[in-house]
Amino acid sequence: MTIAVAPSQNSEPVFHLIDEHEHPEGTSTMLGFWLYLMSDCLIFAILFATYGVLGGNYAAGPAPKDLFDLKLVALNTTMLLLSSITYGFAMLTMEKSQVRATQAWLAITGLFGLAFICIELTEFAHMVHEGATPQRSAFLSSFFTLVGTHGLHVSCGLIWLVTLMTQVARFGLIEANRRRLMCLSMFWHFLDVVWIGVFTFVYLLGMLR
Amino acid sequence: MTTDSYALHSDDHAHDTASHGSLKSYLIGFGLSVVLTAIPFWLVMTGVLDDKQVTALIVLVFAAVQIVVHMVYFLHMNTRSENGWTMMALIFTVIMVVIALTGSLWVMHHLNTNMMPMHDMSQMP
């Protein structure tokens, strides 16, 4: 019975093999990276929710008003905004295949990012020096987790940036490097979007509490 | 025939991913975000408005608008890229984020208000 059926099955044309073509390398990278960013967004959402729940529990310790310096935060925000626009310029020069200009803009972006991290670390050091450590209260635990995670992302972005600059210096603006630079572009602008949430929810609303 | 459709396909993909901005769109985005950042900071730092609730509401609205500006001008979000899949993923994520945030805050706020009155921590030695 089965032997009789088998030949008729084999004789049928197999369509899916013809349709299944090789995708050019990297065509799905952008969508995949976007999905990664969205899942990263969920991590930040949970950290924001944690901060929202615990942010008012000072345990008789320092409150946002005693700790935050809005001028410093404004400076920090400026650094990140400037790094976003300079990365945009890097992408524009990349499209024109100007290697030197792209490298220059990437370097400027890196410097702004570094300035952001340095200012943030100074702020953290100042807070810890005043005894506002993550162990002090639930507010400070959630604060350091949320803002620290964002800072860690920016630091990873900086390492990635230096890696890509080395890649571009060695191999030029080849297709793979362009794709990688576009991924980092999305990552970098995404971190700026998260920072909007941080300075609004944590710093500005914290001062209003 | 098959090579033709293959070439067409890869051409399609190239168009999908090549949704960059122009110098103009980057500058518009930057200008808008500078304004949208400066106003909330100015509101809170100077305390122009007496009502803190109103100030908080305005600050939140500015943040929401700025996030959209960044999405459009810096991340080049649109409904066409990757056949709309990036937009689908974004919408799904936004729904998840809204559920997680409002759910947590709502539930925990009610939990706080329904708690038995505890001793005041600030009175402790």
Domain limits for position B42:
18-76
pLDDT (tens digit per residue) in A21-59: 677 777 889 899 999 999 999 999 999 999 999 998 899
With 80 as the cut, is the pLDDT of residue B111 above it?
A: yes
Is B12 domain-assigned?
Answer: no
**How many folded domains does chain B comprise?**
2
**B35 and B57 assigned to the same domain:** yes
Q: For A65-79, A123-137, B12-26, B34-48, which range has the lowest pLDDT when averaged over its residues?
A: B12-26
Averaged pLDDT score across all residues of chain B: 81
Q: Give the pLDDT score at A15.
A: 61
pLDDT (tens digit per residue) in B55-110: 999 999 999 999 999 999 999 888 888 888 999 999 999 999 999 999 999 998 88
Task: Note which residues in 18-57 of chain B have CB less than 8 A from chain A.
Answer: 20-23, 26-27, 29-30, 33-34, 37, 40-41, 44-45, 52, 55-56
**B54 and B88 assigned to the same domain:** no
The stretches of chain A forming alpha helices (DSSP H) are 2-11, 15-19, 29-54, 64-67, 70-95, 99-129, 138-171, 175-198, 205-208
Is B51 domain-assigned?
Answer: yes
Rg (CA), chain B: 23
| pTM for the full predicted model | 0.84
Tracing tokens 């996030």 back to the chain, one arrives at B67
**B60 and B86 assigned to the same domain:** no
The Cα A123–Cα A109 span in angstroms is 21
Is B58 domain-assigned?
Answer: yes
Averaged pLDDT score across all residues of chain A: 90
**B87 and B56 assigned to the same domain:** no
Cβ of A53 within 8 Å of Cβ of B63? The answer is: no
**B87 and B71 assigned to the same domain:** no
Q: Give the pLDDT score at A19.
A: 58
**B90 and B70 assigned to the same domain:** no
Rg (CA), chain A: 24
**Pair of tokens at residue B5:** 């459709």
**B56 and B99 assigned to the same domain:** no
For A190, B6, B90, the CA distances from A42, given in Å and listed in that order, are 12, 37, 11
With 60 as the cut, is the pLDDT of residue A5 above it?
A: no
**B67 and B41 assigned to the same domain:** yes
Neighbours of B19 (CB within 10 A): 15
Contacts of A24 in chain B (CB under 8 A): 10, 13
For A13, A77, B1, B8, the CA distances from A16, given in Å and listed in that order, are 9, 52, 16, 18
**B25 and B69 assigned to the same domain:** yes
**B64 and B92 assigned to the same domain:** no
Is B46 domain-assigned?
Answer: yes
Is B48 domain-assigned?
Answer: yes
pLDDT (tens digit per residue) in A102-161: 999 999 999 999 999 999 999 999 999 999 999 999 999 999 999 999 999 999 999 999
**B27 and B67 assigned to the same domain:** yes
Q: Tell me the ipTM for this assembly.
A: 0.84
Confidence of residue B43 (pLDDT cuts 50, 70, 90): very high
**Pair of tokens at residue A74:** 């404004």
The Cα A87–Cα A109 span in angstroms is 6
How many Cα atoms occupy the beta-carbon half-sphere of A64 within 13 Å? 22
| Nearest CB partner across the interface for B33, out of A46, A70, A81 | A81
| Nearest CB partner across the interface for B56, out of A27, A91, A205 | A205
**B53 and B67 assigned to the same domain:** yes
Q: Burial of A45 by CB count in 10 Å (0-12 exposed, 13-18 middle, 19+ buried)?
A: buried
Tracing tokens 């921590």 back to the chain, one arrives at B121
Is B43 domain-assigned?
Answer: yes
Is B61 domain-assigned?
Answer: yes
Is B39 domain-assigned?
Answer: yes
